[in-house]
A and B are shown apart, each in its own frame.
Chain A
Amino acid sequence: MAARTDIDVADEARGSRLHGTRRAWLRLRRSSSDAPGLLSNIGLGVVIALFMGPLVITVFTSLRTPAEVAVQPLGLPIPATFDNFVEAFQQMDYLISVRNTAVIMVASVFITVVFGALAAYPLARLTRRWTPWVYRSFILGMTLPIFVIIGPLYLLQRDLGLLNTWAGVILTYVGINLPVAIFFYTSFLRQVPIDVEEAAELDGAGPFRTFRVVVFPLLQPVTATLGIFVALGVWNDLVLPLVFLRDPGLRTVMVNAYSNINPNAVDPTTLFPAAILGVLPLVIVFALMQRRVVQGLTLGSVK
């Protein structure tokens, strides 16, 4: 090998029993960290601080009194007050909103996963003339902006009596997320050998039993990532519930926050805790399943 680094030499000199991959890792670390200079470290620190600044200010300001913030917008929350949270909590009808959002989110994720996996199975295994055609028409939906169909969708839901119901919103989330679900399930299944399914069939299992016992459990890694991707999208969405849910008792966190809080008329001490409350349930999920969330976030990148 042409390029021998000091670490390689040192390893060999010590007669190191380091595993091959660990050696590779050491080399990678050495070659890729050719000592970033002080200036570049400071520059990176400043950029990170600028990115995190808004989040830090959000947390600090939400713990200060409106009077303090009016005098000095930047400051530490000493002593801390939770009054702002109480106010934002009430303004957002928080508990009802969270319950509504959670119901819509769980149902949307569940149905998208089941329908998507069911459809992906024949699409991955069947080679007929019409299967690529069906597959491609699903894939087309991945880049469709919701605004293109929202007008006619509103008329349709009005005519079907689905306006102002959770069912209408849930069905819509399922419909617009099926393309992503089918894309990922199908490409995953195509890489899975067919043998297990054939073995199940030899044991006398029908197609539905094979799906339930063999295929669906195989899809579990995709299901977890996809579930988080859909859940994030539903939780954070404003457009669909804003258009389709008029009754405040049915509305989601985002719609109640949007309807009850005008950002240009209220104090920062109301906006910041509202934002924290809006994000909080997701942050808890994030903390619990960090790795999956990062995968779910970057799921869009391979679309």
Chain B
Amino acid sequence: MIARRPLAALSFLAPAVIVYLVIVIYPLLSSARLSLTDSPAGNVGEFVGLDNFRQILDDPNVMSALWRTLAYAAVVVVLQNGIGLVLARAFFRRMRAQRPLSVMLLLPMLISPLMAAFIWSALYAPNGALNAALEAVGLEGLTRIWLGDPSTALWAIALVNIWMFAGYSCAIFLAGYMNMSNEVLEAARVDGADGWRRFRHVEWPLLAPALTVNVTLALIGSLKVFEYPLVMTNGGPAGSTTTLTLVIYQTIFGGQGSFGYGVAVALLLLLVVMVLSTFVNGVLRRREERI
């Protein structure tokens, strides 16, 4: 038994621990150190204390990217899960169609973010399929240059995100529906509750664990959004799609000589992800216990 062989146990652990220390832990600690320097492009740099972080708070580029990323995440979390929930309820009532339909809706998720960005860049093009489809159904008034207009570009990108992952949310909600006891659902029906009230008072509370998982995953995923804005707009027009990850990428690798500063912005992203996901997860888990 491995428990009585400490040397064997250590040699089992060693490969994973060494790789993890080198690839994740060391760079993480190194981030903390570099964020306190004015390093232009490498390990060298003067210690400047918290200057980088003070500068971040006064940097309109970073702060607007932060708020933009938060707004993006809020829209994606709400719409992706809202659509996923409606679809899951519709599928649950249609047992035979359920499996093929939910597999179909998972297809977009299989596509890489880069390829999804290619597809939607072509759809959103001024003379692309989306505008053509709007004209075809008599909605010429709605046609526009979706990715070239600062007021629509970010939301056009959010839609790609939602398109890719709504099927995933749906699959998780559907698993929640499958876990519900038939007796409870049946009892509500016998009591004569109508569809909406059954949903509101029986199904919605029972879906609490699925909601926790869905909201947490969508939140973490959308805060890390990178490929869509990089490929579709490269942060434009007029910076309207510059997310935090894009700022980090451009500051660290854009040859601006501000490596230490970029690493500090990356730690801000870590802070935002950690604080928000812990907070939201905590609130939703407490809600699960209350219900």
Contact = CB atoms under 8 A, between A and B. Distances in A.
Query: Main secondary structure on chain A at its contact with chain B?
Result: helix
A143 B20 CA distance: 14
A284 B106 CA distance: 15
Given A47-B87, A119-B16, A271-B121, A156 B128 contact: no
Contacts of B266: 145, 147-151
Query: Main secondary structure on chain B at its contact with chain A?
Result: helix
Interface string A262-300: 011000100110110011001100100010011001101
22 contacts: A31-B185, A48-B105, A51-B166, A73-B131, A114-B15, A118-B15, A125-B2, A145-B223, A151-B262, A152-B26, A155-B42, A171-B19, A207-B8, A236-B111, A238-B113, A254-B114, A257-B115, A268-B125, A272-B119, A278-B115, A297-B168, A302-B213
A211 B12 contact: yes
Closest 4 CB pairs of A and B: A175-B23, A236-B112, A119-B16, A268-B122
Interface string B1-45: 111010011101101110110111111101100100000001100
Contacts of A149: 24, 27-28, 31, 266
Contacts, number: 289
A178 B16 contact: yes
Nearest to A116: B16
Contacts of A115: 15-16, 19
| Size bracket of the B interface | 35 or more
Nearest to A122: B9
Given A51-B104, A143-B220, A268-B128, 19 more contacts: A36-B94, A61-B122, A73-B129, A115-B19, A116-B16, A122-B12, A125-B2, A143-B277, A147-B269, A155-B42, A174-B23, A178-B20, A254-B115, A258-B231, A274-B118, A279-B111, A297-B106, A298-B171, A300-B217
Interface stretch (A13-21, A194-202, A219-227): A194-202
